[in-house]
Amino acid sequence: MNLSIVKLSPDYEFAPFDCNDKDLNEFLLTDAKPYQDQLLSTSYILEDNNSLVGFFCVSNDRLCQEDTNKWRKIKECVPYPKRRNSYPALRIGRLAIDHKYQGAGYGKKILDYIKIYFLENSPAGCRFLLVDAYLQSVGFYDKNGFDELPTDKPSNKTKLMYYDLHDIRKLMRFKRFF
């Protein structure tokens, strides 16, 4: 593997990309640049030996009490004097791996990268990662340390999941990711 993560730029030239999901393909190839131009999300491309393997996009967000009926799970992450009704978060808007590369560990590499990069480089406080995971990818996020947050109005397409960035600090003492 010769991995690199490249921030999308206006002149980035996409190679063909197909993750078997029309909406995600279209987002990358058609919408990612305009979204970025409007400062609504920022996309990053995962390349291996200069081939387009996958991508993700992120936006600033917050996790608040109204998002879930199990706020206790979140409350207990933070020591008592610092408890609030909302916490700063980063939302993973989209994440996909080209079908040729799925099942080879690239998705996990992307999540490891997001956890470490935004923990170490975020210029502002950011406690949680959030994702509205497609139902068929809940197992993927679960294996990568994300937990479900139940809501009173569950969607039939996605589940809200979160990762506490405090957890990655402990892991970083033992592992090298890239």
Ligand X SMILES: CC(C)(COP(=O)(O)OP(=O)(O)OC[C@H]1O[C@@H](n2cnc3c(N)ncnc32)[C@H](O)[C@@H]1OP(=O)(O)O)[C@@H](O)C(=O)NCCC(=O)NCCS
Q: Is 31 in the site for ligand X (CB under 6 A)?
A: no
Q: Is 139 in the site for ligand X (CB under 6 A)?
A: yes
**From CA 141, how far away is CA 108, in angstroms rounded?**
9
Q: Which lies closer to ligand X via its Cβ, residue 40 or residue 135?
A: 135
User: Residues 73 to 102: which contact ligand X by CB under 6 A?
Assistant: 95-97, 102
**From CA 104, how far away is CA 141, in angstroms rounded?**
15
Q: Which of 25, 48, 71, 106 binds ligand X (CB under 6 A)?
A: 106
Q: Is 133 in the site for ligand X (CB under 6 A)?
A: yes
Q: Is 28 in the site for ligand X (CB under 6 A)?
A: no
**From CA 27, how far away is CA 4, in angstroms rounded?**
21
**From CA 120, how far away is CA 157, in angstroms rounded?**
32
Q: Nearest CA to 44 among 56, 31, 36?
A: 56
Binding residues (CB under 6 A) for ligand X: these are: 19-21, 24, 95-97, 102-108, 131, 133-134, 136-137, 139-140, 143
